A and B are shown apart, each in its own frame.
Chain A
Amino acid sequence: MSETIVIAEMNNNTIHPSTAELVAAACALGAEPTLVVPCTDAGAADSAASWAGISSLIAAKSTAFENYDAAGWASALDAVMPQGTIVTGASPQSKDLAARIAARRNLPVVQDVVKIDGNQVTSPVYSGKAMQTVALGSASVVSVRFNVFAPVQEGGQNSVSVVDTTGDVATSVQEFMARASERLDVSEANIVISGGRGMGSPDNFSHLEAVADTIGAAVGASRAAVDTWEAIPHSMQVGQTGKTVNPNLYIAVGISGAIQHLAGMRSSRYIVAINKDADAPIFKHADYGIVATWEEALPVLQAQFQSMMG
């Protein structure tokens, strides 16, 4: 397994910085990768020109990359990528793309990889209740979780090859529905603060929002909160039947830590738990556990964050 290819994680025609983690993951799997940047404007690839660890840098330019369509992206990327093992991010969109490209090339795909050892890759299964290690016997496609691999550093000199490509876009956008709030989605944020039924009422989520606005976090919720209060939408739900998140920092407030919830957040890098019940299971998974009601702890947390950020 020598040849590797990384598909850059994109956001509004710019390379998401986490792509540097994917390059590091590809180096662990084999040779220094070809980094392919799906874009509508080739200037998007420039931000990776100074990265170390890349053997070549391709700006794959196509109108197919304007909106996400699995068939369109897979066909447009397949046309410009060499053969080899392909690495993508494990965002919902990139996992979808990884599966589609793997099928296009008749390769197996392993999703949500958190560890690489030679040709063996490990990912969580059964909602993180177990880990599974798979040996890749030939070229494969793997999606890699963010905040796991140390990113490659600056220090390279890569020239950008611009390659025009076309894709067979199948679906068409009828309507973009902007979010009700400007706030980040839990699956996209690097910091998430979530509330559970311990918040007492949906109105009290405004206190979580205040903290979130101070530190640039997304606001999430437990399944219990979503099921109990109609005002808390399913799009906020973190856990087994909601979203799986993997942020740098996860703050759980008034959440007991049911197995359902842990499934969606246990791989976060740092976990803070605030709960009035000292025996709540969430504390077993917390790096910092505070036994207190949210009414006692949140104002203090908010004030300290404000003085630090100010």
Chain B
Amino acid sequence: MPNIVVLVKQVPDTNAKIAINGQTVDLSAVKMVMSPYDEFALETALLHKEAAGGEVTALTVGGPSAEKILKDAKAMGVDNIVRIESSDSMDTNALQTVLKEAISGLGAEVVYCGKSAADTGAGSTGPGVAERLGWSSASNVISASFDGGLSVTSPGKGGNVRLSVPLPAVVSCDKGSFKVRKANIKGIMQAKKAAVDVRAIEAPPSTATVVNQSLPPAKPAGKSYQGGEAAAEVAQLLRDEANVL
């Protein structure tokens, strides 16, 4: 029976307006939620448990405020919730080293995560952690089946590909066909009482450091037209002015 870990991250609500204060993003007024793709990962992890047995542990790295998303995961049905204490910002090398230690410590055989976090949009964590563990990985997965070993579908160049993935493995999940379950009352009550397992892991120093954050440069006003007939002129300009046809 597999020991399953799902990585979850706290990010600003994707509908939130992002404000800049000085040289950095100011998130003090923003509602924080579980990164949307992590919900698909969580759903896949729970489906895996339902098909093959075992236990699911939700794991996050962050400060005490990140425990809210762990409670959300507990309410949806995970067995254990673990937070690795962290306050500093880490580059990918430092973060993935911490995650590798944590996953090894939990004795996991399969790890699910979102295809990217809604804040960075990078998608580095899944494949990076897999490499550090020496495990196989599959990314941007849109469906998974668990009968006779793990098999997943993800988009390749030219069409979708169904892959058989040997365990241990890290699988990053896209929206695809996953329908995320809702927490029920019993789950919510259990989550309230659940204790978070807080652990400390030493991170190596970061060499890539954030210099500043800013709002994207405003786009100069474009040309505007009234009425469908203008489409002919726009088509012409796309070739003669923009040079994109």
Contacts and interface: CB of A to CB of B under 8 A. Distances in A.
Given A95-B124, A130-B18, A173-B163, A301 B235 contact: yes
A99 interface: yes
Interface of B is mostly: mixed
Given A71-B130, A175-B161, A301-B234, A287 B210 contact: no
A293 B226 CA distance: 10
Interface residues of B, number: 86
A163 interface: no
B238 A290 contact: no
Given A170-B166, A171-B166, A292 B231 contact: yes
Interface in B194-221: 206-216, 219
A207 interface: no
A138 B211 CA distance: 15
A51 interface: no
Contacts of A292: 226-228, 230-231
Interface stretch (B57-65, B79-87, B88-96, B184-192): B88-96
Contacts of B34: none
A191 B130 contact: no
A133 to B, nearest CB: 5
A134 interface: yes
Interface of A is mostly: mixed
A249 interface: yes
Interface in B103-140: 118-132, 135-140
Given A125-B213, A177-B159, A301-B232, A287 B242 contact: yes
A172 B121 contact: no
A191 B15 CA distance: 27
B121 A99 contact: no
A288 B163 contact: no
B238 A270 contact: yes
Contacts of A305: 235, 245
A178 B157 CA distance: 10
A74 B166 contact: no
Contact of A120 (B125, B139, B211, B229): B211
Contacts of A104: 131
A96 B142 CA distance: 16
Interface string A211-251: 00001000000000000000000110100111010001100
Given A102-B124, A127-B118, A177 B209 contact: no
A188 B156 CA distance: 11
* Range for the number of chain A residues in contact with chain B: 35 or more
A214 to B, nearest CB: 10
Interface stretch (A109-117, A152-160, A197-205): A109-117
Interface of B: 12, 14-15, 17-18, 20, 25, 36-37, 91-94, 96-97, 118-132, 135-140, 142, 151, 153, 155-166, 169, 175-176, 206-216, 219, 222-232, 234-239, 242, 244-245
Contact of A92 (B18, B139, B207, B228): B139
Given A100-B128, A129-B216, A300-B228, A244 B159 contact: no
A241 B164 contact: no
7 contacts: A68-B157, A131-B213, A137-B207, A176-B159, A270-B242, A290-B231, A292-B227
A244 B139 CA distance: 16
A150 to B, nearest CB: 13
Contacts of A30: none
B223 to A, nearest CB: 5
Contacts of B207: 108, 136-138, 140
In the complex, the 5 A-B pairs of residues with the closest C-beta atoms, listed nearest first: A296-B228, A170-B136, A103-B131, A99-B124, A108-B208
A124 interface: yes
B123 A111 contact: yes
Contacts of B120: 111, 125
Nearest to A11: B157
A103 B242 contact: no
Given A126-B25, A244-B121, A308-B239, A285 B219 contact: yes
A185 B154 CA distance: 13
Nearest to A286: B222
Contact of A191 (B12, B166, B212, B244): B244
B160 to A, nearest CB: 4
Nearest to B133: A103
Given A95-B122, A130-B214, A300-B230, 14 more contacts: A12-B157, A100-B127, A102-B128, A103-B130, A108-B94, A109-B122, A127-B14, A129-B18, A140-B207, A171-B163, A244-B121, A263-B14, A285-B219, A287-B222
